[in-house]
Structure formats: C-alpha cells, structure tokens
A and B are shown apart, each in its own frame.
Chain A
Amino acid sequence: MSLGWLREERDAHVLGALRVAFASLLLLLAVRFARELVQNGFFADAFYMPLLPRSWVPSRTEYVTLIAVQGLGSLLALVGVLARPALFTAALCGLYGFLCDRLNYHNNRYELLLLALLVAVTPCDRSFLWFGQTRPGTAPRWAARLVGAQISIVYLASSLGKLVDADWRTGAVLLPRFAVGRPVLEHFLPASLAALVSAPWFAHAASLAAIGSELFLALGLWFSSTRVLALWLGVMFHSGIELAAHVELFSYTMLSGYLAFVTPELRERRLSWNSERPLGDYLAALCRKLDLLARFTHEHVSEQASLLIVQDRAGLSHHGLAAWRELARALPPLFPLWLPLCLLTLRERRTQTYTGR
C-alpha cells in the first residue's frame, strides 16, 4: 500500500482559514454550554448518564472551569496564539464533557469537536494570524486529508444508514416531516402544489434524492472532476438544512470542513479588471477582500476591453458571464452562483489565450 500521501506536502495557507472557522465554532459551542449551565443548572445535579466512571465526572466548579478552558482555547486558536495546542485543548474539553453525560450528546456537536481536534493536528498556525508573521510555504498535508475523511464519513454513514432502512428508502421517514411543513407551504404556494409534499411518491422521491445526494457528497469530494459540483451541492444541501431545520452549528461545521478540500496552492488564477472604469476599480477592491483563500492574482489593466477577464488554472481566459462563473467558482461568498452561471454559459465559446504555462 502506497504511503506517499503521508509524505505529501502542500501550501498550508488555507489551513489557517480552517483553524479560524473551527475556533469560531468551538467558541460558539462553549458559549452554548455556558448558557445551558445557567438556564438548566449543572447536569450532575439531576439525572444524567455518564460514560465515564462517576468519580471522573467533574464537580460544578470543575465543569465551569472546563467550559472556560474551552472558551479560552478557542479564542487563542482564533487569533493564532499557541493556536494548535489551544484548539486541541478546547476540543478535548468539549469531548470530555460528552463522556460525562451522554444525554448531552448531539451528533452535530460531536462532529464539530472531532473535526476541531483533527484541525489542530494540521499545520494551521502559519496563516490568518492576528499577531505575528504569516509563515508561507508548504507543510505536510496528511492531517488535512483526515479532516476531509471525517467529513466524508458523516455523509457515507448517513447515506448508507438510510439506504439499508426500509422506512427511509420508501419515504416513510420524510412523509410525516413534510406533512408538518405543508401548512407553511400553503402560505406561499397554491394548495394543489403544497399538497404534493403530502404525497407518498413525493416523499419517496425526496428520500432517494437525499440518499443519492449524501452518497455523492461522500465520494464526489475526493475526485477533481466532481469536487466542485460536490462542494456546490453540499453548500446548497446545508443551506437548505439550516433554513428548514436549523440544527445548531451543524451546517456551519460541515461547510467549514469543506475548506479541507480546497486546492492548497495559491494564486493560480488571474483576475484583471478594466481600471478605466470606476466600476472596475470598485469591484477589484471588493474582490480583493472576498478572495480570502488567495485564489487569484489581482490586476488592473487599462487597455482591457472587457470589464473583467479571468484566467483559470489551465491558462484559459474567460470573458463576460464565463468570467463571472470562474470568479464565483473561486470566491467563497459568490460560490452559490457558480452552478447557475455554469448552466448559463454552457454553450459559450471560451476565448483561449495561453500564457505559455
């Protein structure tokens, strides 16, 4: 078995963004734990179910300290001070809390803590630092692969679990949920359309679509030919979950984890704006701010006919809507626009200007 992936080294810049994302989520989780402590009291003062021996369960004071350490660790990791040990410690504190009371277990919280632990193992302390200098360069990639693997495991386990469950396959699980949502839909849609969601065949089709989507996400993220589509589908999938169900920090956790699949190399694309047009200047400045993952070199060109020209990794130049498509593909805040733009530009010829790469 080839172990070359253990020796692989790639640019570590994007891993800093991964650290910031998970440190932020871990901080929010610590705040949630603190709020639950204040509102519901200390868990061990009532019925609880520890996985650890009861003598290992912390006292109230020790539990408060645990939450405080998690919060502090998250904050330090966020700003990049002792980032990796801080993130690792914060995640461990949260996981320890889980072992103390299984009634507090939530899939989404466990996933967040586990991913934060894995992110702490990556070389994520070289960029996105509030203090100190960024350290550009390559670093071992294997730990980031583990983060990606954990993301895929969630989709794989979920899809396979649904696939082997007859109730899920036939739509029996989704049908009651859709029935609850039907009165809400009737405010926005004609009654005949809203009634669709109560139809067994609709629930069946939706179930198969959900299973297929999760299976595609589990596998598609790993192949360059399907990765972008899988990422786009994942963004839509989790945005939908967030709007429809709001499962605590789950959607944000998974979307943050997608950073582990971003190509590590920086500035392999070129973005040039027509600097003679005020709009060009404004959009250039905006895109520079939105280019959090350093996907582009940014240029102002006065002789350029088009407002925007984007040169992709292969050296092909894109104008018009195709340029906006390439922009949307690589700028996270614009990414939801990528597939619609792809569909709009399907037939457009690409202007091929090779730069001798």
Chain B
Amino acid sequence: MFNEASRLTIHLSREVAGRRGPLLVPIPSGRWRAPDSSGRVREYAWQDRVHYPLDRLEVSLHASYGLDAQLFHLQAALDDVVRHIPDDERTLALVADVDTIRNGAPGPHVRLRAVKP
C-alpha cells in the first residue's frame, strides 16, 4: 500500500536581476520569454523538459512515494531545467515554492532553488 496520503502544489518563479537585488517573477503556466545574448526574445517552457507529474503547476498533486521523494525529484528537475536554458540571459535561477499537505494536515512550505550555471 501507499506510504503517505500527501499532496504538493508547485508555484514556479524565475529569479531575475532587479534594481535593488534579485526579483522573483512568477511563471504560473511554466512558460516565459527572455532575450538571448543577441537580444532576440525566445520562449521557454518548464514542460519542455519536465513531464508528468511535476509538469503540473499551481494545482494540488498527489505525492507519489511521499513528499520527500517528490521534493527530491523537483529539486533535480529545477537543476536540469536551468542547465537547459543557456540562452536565457535574464534568468538567474529557478525557484519552486511548494505548499505541502502531509497525510491530510498542512505541512511546511518548502522553497527549492536552482541557480543557472
């Protein structure tokens, strides 16, 4: 049987440079546009690299094999996506703010971050 009846909701953001320091720009659809080094604007999508179930943002997901497993996978997904957006000159990091419910009770809010190499 399943080890937990837990859920998570992923809120994805891009960290970009602001006038007074890094700024978080929410990307609820997982899609964003950013210029490359030549100034040409390109489109990027979280879902281009990340497939089910972690491709679903802003909705409550069942945490298969437990919250810890899904958060571990999510961190790896963030690390992977930032490695695959080398042309994005604006994004400094990807940040996932995760609301959790562990076995029916509200769990901790978790922030995961992956810095672009």
Contacts and interface: CB of A to CB of B under 8 A. Distances in A.
A221 interface: no
Given A172-B104, A175-B104, A47 B3 contact: no
B5 A173 contact: yes
B77 A47 contact: yes
B4 interface: yes
Contacts of B77: 47
Nearest to A214: B1
A179 B3 CA distance: 17
A248 interface: no
Contact of B2 (A46, A173, A179): A173
A214 B2 CA distance: 13
B71 interface: no
Nearest to B4: A173
A165 interface: yes
A46 B3 contact: no
Nearest to B73: A103
A256 interface: no
B5 A176 contact: yes
Contacts, number: 46
B49 interface: yes
A176 B104 contact: yes
Interface string A157-190: 0100110010110001111110100000000000
A107 B17 CA distance: 43
Contact of A177 (B5, B51, B65, B81): B5
Contacts of A174: 5
B86 to A, nearest CB: 16
A47 B5 contact: no
A37 B93 CA distance: 31
At the interface, is chain A mostly helix, strand, loop or mixed?
A: helix
B103 A47 contact: no
Interface string B80-110: 1100000000000000000000111100000
A214 B3 CA distance: 14
Interface string B1-23: 11111000000000000000000
Given A40-B51, A46-B51, A47-B81, A158 B103 contact: no
Given A161-B3, A173-B5, A176-B5, A47 B105 contact: no
Given A158-B1, A176-B5, A210-B1, A46 B105 contact: no
A158 B2 CA distance: 9
Q: Choose among B3, B77, B80, B105 the residue with the greatest number of A CB atoms under 10 Å from its CB.
A: B3
Contacts of A158: 1
Given A172-B104, A173-B103, A176-B103, A47 B1 contact: no
Contacts of A177: 5
B37 to A, nearest CB: 24
Interface string B33-48: 0000000000000001
Contacts of B103: 167, 172-173, 175-176
B3 to A, nearest CB: 6
Contacts of A199: none
A189 B58 CA distance: 35
A162 B5 CA distance: 12
B49 A167 contact: no
A175 B102 CA distance: 12
B76 interface: yes
B112 interface: no
Contact of B3 (A49, A165, A241): A165
B50 interface: yes
Nearest to A178: B5
A158 B77 CA distance: 29
A60 to B, nearest CB: 15
Interface of A: 40, 46-47, 49, 103, 107, 158, 161-162, 165, 167-168, 172-177, 179, 210, 214, 241
18 contacts: A47-B49, A47-B76, A47-B77, A103-B73, A165-B3, A167-B4, A167-B102, A167-B103, A168-B3, A172-B103, A172-B104, A173-B2, A173-B3, A173-B5, A173-B103, A175-B5, A175-B103, A176-B103
Given A46-B49, A173-B5, A241-B1, 11 more contacts: A47-B49, A47-B51, A47-B80, A47-B81, A162-B3, A165-B3, A172-B104, A172-B105, A175-B5, A176-B104, A210-B1
